[in-house]
Chain A
């Protein structure tokens, strides 16, 4: 059973370009989370998606960032007009269920995409 897959593992973009990060959850998992980790910082929640549905996007910057999880294919985190401050590691995690009150459901993380904006 393959784990969570992310690609590309490393992405270099110039300021103003677009970055597209992909995440394929573990087999049987229908929920995906995206996190951003800046150097020497903790993971910051960005968005929580189910197939074709955004459950919580309270951590997403208001502009330039968007995420989707289509019925078919991987989840995509899209960053438009990248700036140097977007340079970070972006991690995706998946879980099998919509986590409800009191559940101790585990998230499984992908290896991350390291974005460098020049």
Chain B
């Protein structure tokens, strides 16, 4: 089983739609969770951290389910500019080292 798994998609949705992505992780001791966004041939950029209580930033909502070992990202009212690959990142800290593990990403295409 891969450490961090994501459905590669693509998710093809119309503008205004609501779309959700899940990401599962294998190590129950994982401590930090993030969603990054990566545009084609660009560097990843932090979208949001994911906290145990869940958190929201505008149209984006992230949730963490430790019992089932998954995190989710919900995008409401999709915009054309949301088209990108969304990377799930999970990290395990300890021994002075923090090594993030990236999922392969979920591709989102928002069309008019």
Contacts and interface: CB of A to CB of B under 8 A. Distances in A.
Interface of A: 33, 35, 41-45, 48, 55-56, 58-59, 89, 91, 98-112
Contact of A91 (B44, B49, B51, B104): B44
A74 B4 CA distance: 31
- For chain B, which range describes its interface: under 10, 10 to 19, 20 to 34, or 35 or more residues? 20 to 34
A100 B32 CA distance: 11
A42 B96 CA distance: 24
Contacts of B45: 109
Contacts of B96: 55, 98, 100
Contact of A43 (B32, B44, B93): B44
6 contacts: A43-B44, A44-B102, A104-B49, A107-B46, A108-B46, A109-B44
A112 B43 contact: yes
A109 B43 contact: yes
A107 B99 contact: no
A9 to B, nearest CB: 11
What DSSP secondary structure best describes chain B's contact surface?
strand
A112 B97 CA distance: 23
B26 interface: no
B63 to A, nearest CB: 16
A44 B101 CA distance: 7
Contacts of B97: 48, 55-56
Contacts of A110: 43
A100 to B, nearest CB: 6
A99 B93 contact: yes
A92 to B, nearest CB: 9
A110 B45 CA distance: 9
A103 B102 CA distance: 17
